[in-house]
Amino acid sequence: MTKTIAILTGGGDCPGLNAVIRGVVRTAIRCYGWRVVGIEDGFDGLVGNPRYRELTLGSVRGILQRGGTILGTSNRGNPFSYAVEKDDGSTELIDVSAQVLDNLRQIGADALIAVGGDGTLKIAQALYERGVPVIGVPKTIDNDLRATDITFGYRTAVSIVTEALDRLHTTAESHQRAIVVEVMGRDAGWIALESGIAGSADVILIPEIPYAMERICDALEARCQAGSRFSIVVVAEGAYPIAGDKVRQKQAAENFGVERLGGIGAAVAAELNECLGMETRVVTLGHLQRGGSPTPYDRILASRFGVRAAELIAASSFGQMVALKGQSVTGVPIASAVAQLNRVDPQGELVRTGESLAINFGR
């Protein structure tokens, strides 16, 4: 009998998702003769009446270079903690995973490919433990999954932030301003660190190194005295001061179990304005980092991940996540992939490189 493979994309969107879908569909159909169905809007599409459509070779034609995901996504559809509205208007979190299992059987799925970050892969592991044949594909611009050397979408995000820093340098210098640029990354500082080095930032603040504002002010004051009348400060959204805390727009309890970070850039800018006496501006790049066409590197990596996911299904190697290890794409247990975040080493070579280049990390 022809296998039916289901694929979904969960969590935040990311450049390269369509390349994964294309890689899975082309490999499944051309190499194995399987049928592929795409689940719409992440795990939301498996709750209630299932929402899905068949993916053919024609369905994935021309999508390699497109950003986003043709299947749609959601970062709120955790079936093990699903938000439903009660009669009184309040929201209750309930377990609807049984619906997901029933819908996968209804669709006739012989295997499920879940493409997503830490949250999506934890759901995938829980489904695998309940008997669903699952393969995971790591996706996050934050690059915070330890089991793979890198995740697709990350290089594109770094490229976008670096281009923004290049543009901001000219206006900062023209107006003798300090410009604070807040970037994504959650609890990992990779985007801020690599784009800050590539974009010639003067200060980089990351979650892994709690900062002291007086040291940042001293460093930027020294720049002014040396004749540099402008500064560029890159701040990861999860950065926080010594003896302080992260700035949150919403707590996890009020946002379907996921805290929403944001606002640290404005807080840092306000303090810099006070201590430097220099006109300060804030730029929050936000979802610009997620959008647009993936870089060639991410198109290739995502395509390799999609092909390898299909190969793991053919080998019945379920409960695995595809991962880049050195030059090879292989499979690793999903459980080990989500056990620990990939975070910047405060004493590592990249941070030492930045400090040798006179970048201040607030320490």
Same domain? 96 vs 177: no
pLDDT digits (tens, 9 = 90+) for 275-303: 887 888 999 998 888 888 999 999 999 99
Same domain? 283 vs 320: no
Domain endpoint, select from 265, 290, 315: 290
Residue 251's pLDDT is what?
66
Domain endpoint, select from 264, 290, 316: 290
Domain endpoint, select from 266, 290, 314: 290
- 257 pLDDT more than 60: no
Which pTM does this prediction carry? 0.91
Same domain? 199 vs 184: yes
pLDDT band at 240 (very low <50, low <70, confident <90, very high): very high
pLDDT digits (tens, 9 = 90+) for 148-174: 999 999 999 999 999 999 999 999 888
Angle (CA) 37-152-142 rounded to 5° is 115
Residue 197 counted as domain residue: yes
pLDDT digits (tens, 9 = 90+) for 88-140: 777 788 899 999 999 999 999 999 999 999 889 999 999 999 999 999 999 99
Same domain? 195 vs 321: no
Residue 349 counted as domain residue: no
Residue 15 counted as domain residue: yes
- 215 pLDDT more than 60: yes
Same domain? 137 vs 25: yes
Residue 315 counted as domain residue: yes
CA distances 288 to 67, 160, 363, Å, are 11, 8, 29
C-alpha torsion angle, residues 141, 142, 144, 145 (rounded to 10): -10
**16, 152 Cβ separation under 8 angstroms:** yes
To the nearest whole number, what is the mean pLDDT of the chain? 92
Same domain? 168 vs 49: no
Same domain? 144 vs 162: no
**153, 16 Cβ separation under 8 angstroms:** yes
Residue 362 counted as domain residue: no
Residues 6+ apart with CB under 8 A from 92: 83, 84, 85, 86
Same domain? 209 vs 123: no
- Cα separation, 52 vs 160, in Å, equals 32
Residue 268 counted as domain residue: yes
Length of the chain: 363
* Beta carbons within 10 angstroms of residue 332's beta carbon: 18
Q: Is 258 exposed, middle or buried (0-12, 13-18, 19+ CB in 10 A)?
A: middle
CATH code of the domain containing 209: 3.40.50.460
Same domain? 34 vs 51: yes
Residue 220's pLDDT is what?
92
Residues forming the active site? 142
Residue 87's identity, in one-letter code, is D
The range of the structural domain enclosing residue 190 comes to: 156-290
Average pLDDT over residues 9-28: 95
Residue 18's pLDDT is what?
97
pLDDT band at 214 (very low <50, low <70, confident <90, very high): very high
CATH code of the domain containing 23: 3.40.50.450
How many domains does the chain fold into? 2
Q: Which residues of 262-293 are buried (b: 16+ CB within 10 A; e: fewer)?
A: bbbbbbbbebbbeebebebbbbbbeebbbebb
Residue 87's pLDDT is what?
79
Same domain? 90 vs 183: no
Same domain? 193 vs 138: no
pLDDT band at 12 (very low <50, low <70, confident <90, very high): confident
**118, 142 Cβ separation under 8 angstroms:** no
Same domain? 26 vs 130: yes
* Beta carbons within 10 angstroms of residue 309's beta carbon: 29
Residue 34 counted as domain residue: yes
- 227 pLDDT more than 70: yes
Residue 244's pLDDT is what?
84
Residue 211 counted as domain residue: yes
